[in-house]
Amino acid sequence: MSSPRRQLRTWSVGLLAGATVITGCSTAASSPDPATLTAGPDNSGSTAATSASPSPSPSAGASSATASASPSPTPTKPLADPVAKDVVTGLTTPWAIAPLKDGSLLVCERDTSMIKRVVGSRASEVQRISDVEPGGEGGLLGLTITPDEKTVFAYFTAAEDNRIISMSWDGTSLGEQKTIFAGIPKGFRHNGGRMVIGPDNHLYVGTGEVGDTSLAQDKKSLAGKILRITQDGAPARGNPFGTEIYSLGHRNVQGLAFDDAGRLWASEFGDQTWDELNLITKGSNYGWPEVEGSGQAEGMTNPKVVWSTSEASPSGLAYWKGSLYLAALRGRRLWEIPVDGTDVGKPKAHFTGEYGRLRSVTVAADGQRLLVSTSNTDGRGDRQRGDDRILEVNR
Ligand SMILES: [Ca+2]
């Protein structure tokens, strides 16, 4: 574990502008420390946060090798401001992007049930997924592809449930739909849907509590959880409760990303006040509905960052160049959160209001840029010319 001192901070952005929030952390045995940080809506000057670590070694965790490959301290060279340009326009409710090594993209559309391929600036239909029943926040949601690009997974809302299918991918077309996991509760709202393949090759899946808050704490329900399953849909070995459940107490997980040390981060919609960025550990309870944002509840893990819902309403999440990038729907901006081990620096906003609602953010297959999709055709946005679009972000 890294120094307990540095696990005790929750950045607070928004409602309590300038206020300090000090919270407990997931490890009950950690000693409290009066470390304080203040965070306000001021989005300038955050680069210092990434380089302020007094320690050259980010962590002593089991998987720290990748993070500490260099014996010297973290370089301090600040990154240039990110610049965005259109990759493709004219999409309808794009929800998730699966980048391919040849530079093209697979993208799924929530409301059309379609998987499209984007080559250059042109999108064309690959396949309409059958059995999708779009409605409310449901529809064709998650999409991810294995590193060998042979298998595609999709998460969608069907007639009775949310489910996950796999399909083979041969470079041009998708094979037969195979349901690998069914029975995730569905609702008009809070259907979760994000999927990511972990360093262990298992699928990590964010679900929502479908508007029934009690389900989030119910270990017998798949709602309001992060699941960890094999690519065949079985509970992954080593899960904390002997089931598919990896963590609980979530309201509606919308973003999942692994950092370069193999830690899992998740974004989550709050209710009326606080959206969350959480560092996910096996078996931990993230508080909902007992706690929204940070609290003192026994046995519950506090977020690393909270935002007022008007500044975030977070969806997709990606780790790139030492930071997490979080796409904000209602907040209409891309949040950058510097990561240093298990600690985070001051969040910084990019593109505020420029592109409207942002749904997903994914690292391109070559690692050189981010791909960010808008969500202005989802019924809650103001449609601009060209919406919805996928942007390429460079810096
Ligand atoms: Ca929480």
Q: Does residue 239 belong to any structural domain of this protein? A: yes
CATH number of the domain to which 86 belongs: 2.120.10.30
Tell whether 54 is covered by a domain. Answer: no
Q: What pLDDT shows up at residue 65? A: 37
Residue 13, in any domain of the structure? no
- Determine the distance separating the centroid of ligand 1 and the alpha carbon of 291, expressed in angstroms: 6
Model pLDDT, residue 77: 76
Q: Quote the ligand 1 centre to 267 CA distance (angstroms).
A: 10
Please list the rounded mean pLDDT of every run of 10 residues in the chain (395 residues): 48 59 36 32 34 36 40 67 98 98 98 98 98 97 98 98 98 98 97 98 98 98 98 98 98 98 96 95 97 94 95 95 98 98 97 98 98 97 96 98
For position 180, what pLDDT does the model report? Answer: 98
**CB-count burial class (<10 Å; 0-12, 13-18, 19+) for 92:** middle
| Domain coverage including residue 256 | 82-394
Distance 340 CA to ligand 1 centre (A): 21
| Total domains, the chain | 1
Ligand 1 geometric centre to CA of 264 (Å): 15
Per-residue pLDDT, 23: 38
For ligand 1, an ion, list residues with CB under 5 A.
286-287
CA 117 / ligand 1 centre spacing (Å):
35
Is 322 among the domain residues? yes
Q: Within a domain: residue 18?
A: no
What's the CA-to-centroid distance between 275 and ligand 1, angstroms? 8
What spacing in Å lies between the alpha carbon of 130 and ligand 1's midpoint? 34
**274 belongs to a structural domain:** yes
Domain-embedded: residue 136: yes
What pLDDT score does 206 carry? 98
d(CA 341, CA 58): 5
pTM of the model: 0.84
Separation of CA 368 and ligand 1 centre (Å): 32
Burial class for 239, CB neighbours closer than 10 Å (0-12, 13-18, 19+): middle
Residue 106 Cα to ligand 1 middle (Å): 31
Q: 252 CA to middle of ligand 1, Å?
A: 10
For ligand 1, the distance from its centroid to the CA atom of residue 373, given in whole angstroms, is: 25
How far does the centroid of ligand 1 lie from the alpha carbon of residue 125, in Å? Answer: 38
Distance in Å, CA 4 to ligand 1 centroid: 20
Q: Is residue 355 part of a domain?
A: yes
Whether the CA torsion 354, 356, 359, 365 is positive or negative: it is negative
